[in-house]
Every structure is written in structure tokens, then in C-alpha cells.
């Protein structure tokens, strides 16, 4: 086994990030908030083309506060994608609401608009209309907001976009994060860019942004002493992490470009392999290519997804199945859902491969070589 493990998406940081963080340290702004937080918010909102941005401790915090600002609370139902990381569903539960899971489009894994329409109609007829819809932009491909937006409008339900994975992506020429009432981004360590931990709430709605900002600083009233009339949260991003984020944001185009190159090389490799397709469809033009995944047809491919994962692990190369759908998670076994088996099939037959912009050309060649040897040497029963 090779000594150095190749990870799927390790942080891509270097001299510029060090320069920004050291400058923040030397400025004396060590405590939460400060000039780098203000600048990071301004730079994000300008890049996305929205009026307001609030830097927070995580993407999960942004989801939680955004839902609260939209008025979601105990007894409500929030419709969301079943194929997502648990944070999306957890944030809904934090408010006291119940997540209602909608299955996936088979090509992209994103929320199926037709099923969404059916789910919203079903909830209205049951007398429990959805309080919000939270689609997830899966692995850097924006959801089909051209269809989802009008559906939400027709049902009079606010659209709140989980763009945690899609910073730098677009849909129909518009940046991810600019759709609906509001959106959130994540800057976790493995994301397209990182602040170590962190997130951002973005919106054109001044009232929503102001309420999120208020709740994120313990809901402190604007008086000299500590006065509180609401329950608040310690959810603000620190000045040091914002400095890191500013450096990363300045390099975002470069990092997306590197991930696009890996995606293109994977397409080239798998184009000659029967039964294996790049997840997300043939068009990467508006994606940020955060993670590159494949979907394996076990009846046609020389290997199953699980076999390939095991072979890569033997070569000390990290890979991972696609998200396990939330409706299959034990903690959400009793949650309402509208599912058709698509997300379960993608989970069982999908595999995410090393995709990070910090991966060297030599490491990527090692991945390609390991995949090629696994495919050519596999003996299917």
C-alpha cells in the first residue's frame, strides 16, 4: 500500500491564506467579528449578486437561523431533498419542524420538481401546508430552480436554497445562492473553498438578513447592558476565519478550474467503460465540480461501486458512496416522504472519487492508474 493517502477533497491552502490570517492576527482583531468579517460578507454578496450576506459559524447555523427568520417553528413541515448531508434535515428539526423528504431526479440527484409539486399539493390537501421548501444543490450542481421556483410560487411556499456545496456554480446563467428568498453556503474543510469551519447566509431581503444577524449574536438588544427578549445563538464567524475565507475567495476561480480539469479527465477515462457514467449528466458548464462521482450499472460494468471502492482503499485512495438518503437514515425512519427509489439506487451504485484542487498531477495520475487497473483486473462472477 502506498504510504500517502489521497483524500477526496482536502483543503487547498497556501502562502496567500497564511498572509491573510497573519495580517488578521497582527491587526489585533482576534475576538469574534472585525474588519475581515465585514469585508468577507461584502465580497461574497458582490460575487453572488445579492444585497445582504451574514457570515456564520457553519452552513448548518445558516440553515437554522434562516428557517427561524422565515418563521418556521414547532409543528411546521419543511419539504427538502432526501439526498443530502444530515445537516439539512437536522437544521429543520432544530426549529421544532418536521422534514418532509422528496426524492431525486435520476440524472442529477437533485430534488425532482414533479415530486415536489405532488408533495406540496398533498400537504395542502391534508391541511398541513409546507412552511418552506429547501432544495439542496448536490455536489456542486444547482437544483433546477427554473422549475422549482415557479412551483413554490404556485403553492405560496417560500424557497430557501441549501447551496452549501455550490458556491461558484450557476443555473440558467444566475449564480447559485441568488435564488429564492435566501440561500446558504458552507465553508467546511472539504468544501470548494474553506474557512476551516464556517458558513454564510445570503439574501436580497433586508429584514431576513437583519433578523439572522440579530439571532446569531445571542439576540442581544442594542443597549449598553446585556438585555435579551429572544433566545439567541452564538453563531457568528470569527475575524480570523473570515480572513482565511477572503484569501480562499480570491482563488475560487482557480480552484474550480482545477476541479474541472479532474472532471474532464474522469470523463475521458470512463467514456470507454461500459456501465459507468459520470454522475450529474453530460453538462458540467455551470457546475463548480466540487466532487466528481460516478454511477455504476452493476449489470454492465466490470466492477460494482463497492468493489471499486474497496480496490481503491487497498491503494490508500479515499472514495465514498453518494449521500445515503435521509429517508433511509434510522433517525428519520418515521419522517414523511415522497420517494420513488431513485436516491436509494444512486446511493447503492454511486461512488465519489478524489476531486480536490489541492491534489497534485502525480496524485491524480495515481488515482487514474488505480482505477484503470481495478477495471481491467476485476473478475466479475
Q: Which CATH number do you get for residue 57?
A: 3.40.640.10
pLDDT given for residue 356 in this prediction: 97
Say what the pTM is.
Answer: 0.95
Question: Does the structure show a pLDDT above 80 at 81?
Answer: yes
CB atoms within 10 A of CB 268: 10
In the chain, what is the straight-line distance between the N-terminal and C-terminal CA atoms, in Å? 26
- Scanning the structure block, which residue is given the C-alpha cell 481491467? 376
Residues 237, 298, single domain; the answer is: no
Q: Which value, in Å, is the radius of gyration of the alpha carbons in the chain?
A: 21
Percent of the chain with pLDDT over 90: 92
Q: Among 197, 221, 250, which residue terminates a domain?
A: 250
Classify residue 64: in a domain, yes or no. yes
pLDDT given for residue 33 in this prediction: 87
- Scanning the structure block, which residue is given the C-alpha cell 391541511? 127
- Cβ atoms of 37 and 237 within 8 Å: the answer is yes
Residues 80, 217, single domain; the answer is: yes
pLDDT given for residue 379 in this prediction: 46
Q: Among 250, 274, 298, which residue terminates a domain?
A: 250
Residues 273, 330, single domain; the answer is: yes
The mean pLDDT of 220-249, rounded to a whole number, is 93
pLDDT given for residue 298 in this prediction: 93
Question: Does the structure show a pLDDT above 70 at 380?
Answer: no
Instruction: Please tell me the total count of domains within the chain.
Output: 2
Residues 315, 208, single domain; the answer is: no
- Averaged pLDDT of the chain: 95
| Domain, as residue range, for 40 | 15-250
pLDDT given for residue 134 in this prediction: 98
The mean pLDDT of 325-339, rounded to a whole number, is 97
Strand partners, 352: 293, 320
Least trusted range by pLDDT, from 30-34, 68-72, 273-277: 30-34
Residues 171, 317, single domain; the answer is: no
Residues 172, 246, single domain; the answer is: yes
The mean pLDDT of 305-334, rounded to a whole number, is 97
Residue 348: give its domain's CATH number. Answer: 3.90.1150.10
pLDDT confidence bin for 378, thresholds 50/70/90: low
Q: Among 215, 250, 285, which residue terminates a domain?
A: 250
pLDDT given for residue 224 in this prediction: 81
Residues 105, 145, single domain; the answer is: yes
Amino acid at each position: 500500500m502506498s504510504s500517502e493517502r489521497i483524500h477526496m477533497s482536502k483543503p487547498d491552502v497556501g502562502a496567500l491564506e497564511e498572509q491573510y490570517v497573519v495580517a488578521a492576527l497582527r491587526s489585533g482583531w482576534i475576538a469574534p467579528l472585525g474588519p475581515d468579517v465585514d469585508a468577507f460578507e461584502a465580497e461574497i454578496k458582490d460575487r453572488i449578486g445579492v444585497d445582504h450576506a451574514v457570515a456564520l459559524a457553519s452552513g448548518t447555523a445558516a440553515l437554522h437561523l434562516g428557517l427561524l427568520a422565515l418563521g418556521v417553528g414547532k409543528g411546521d413541515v419543511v419539504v427538502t431533498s432526501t439526498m443530502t448531508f444530515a445537516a439539512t434535515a437536522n437544521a429543520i428539526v432544530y426549529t421544532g419542524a418536521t422534514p418532509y423528504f422528496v426524492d431525486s431526479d435520476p440524472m442529477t440527484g437533485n430534488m425532482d420538481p414533479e415530486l415536489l409539486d405532488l408533495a406540496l399539493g398533498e400537504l395542502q390537501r391534508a391541511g398541513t401546508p409546507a412552511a418552506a421548501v429547501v432544495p439542496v444543490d448536490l455536489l456542486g450542481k444547482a437544483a433546477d430552480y427554473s422549475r422549482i421556483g415557479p412551483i413554490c410560487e404556485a403553492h405560496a411556499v417560500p424557497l430557501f436554497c441549501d447551496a452549501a456545496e455550490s458556491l461558484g456554480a450557476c443555473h440558467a446563467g444566475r449564480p447559485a445562492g441568488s435564488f429564492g428568498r435566501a440561500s446558504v453556503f458552507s465553508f467546511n474543510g472539504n468544501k470548494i473553498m474553506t474557512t476551516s469551519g464556517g458558513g454564510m447566509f445570503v439574501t436580497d431581503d433586508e429584514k431576513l438578513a437583519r433578523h439572522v444577524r440579530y439571532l446569531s449574536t445571542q439576540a442581544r438588544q442594542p443597549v449598553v447592558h446585556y438585555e435579551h427578549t429572544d433566545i439567541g445563538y452564538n453563531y457568528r464567524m470569527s475575524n480570523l476565519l473570515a480572513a482565511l475565507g477572503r484569501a480562499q475567495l480570491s482563488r475560487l476561480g482557480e480552484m474550480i478550474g482545477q476541479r474541472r480539469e479532474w472532471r474532464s479527465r474522469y470523463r475521458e477515462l470512463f467514456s470507454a467503460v461500459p456501465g459507468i457514467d459520470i454522475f450529474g449528466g453530460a453538462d458540467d458548464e455551470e457546475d463548480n465540480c466540487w466532487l466528481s462521482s460516478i454511477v455504476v450499472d452493476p449489470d454492465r460494468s466490470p466492477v460494482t461501486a463497492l468493489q471499486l471502492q474497496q480496490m481503491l482503499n487497498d491503494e490508500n485512495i479515499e472514495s465514498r458512496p453518494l449521500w445515503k438518503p435521509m429517508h433511509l437514515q434510522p433517525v428519520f425512519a418515521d419522517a414523511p416522504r415522497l420517494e420513488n427509489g431513485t436516491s436509494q439506487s444512486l446511493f447503492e451504485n454511486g461512488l465519489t472519487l478524489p476531486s480536490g484542487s489541492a491534489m497534485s498531477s502525480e496524485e491524480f495520475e495515481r488515482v487514474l492508474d488505480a482505477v484503470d487497473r481495478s477495471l481491467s483486473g476485476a473478475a466479475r462472477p
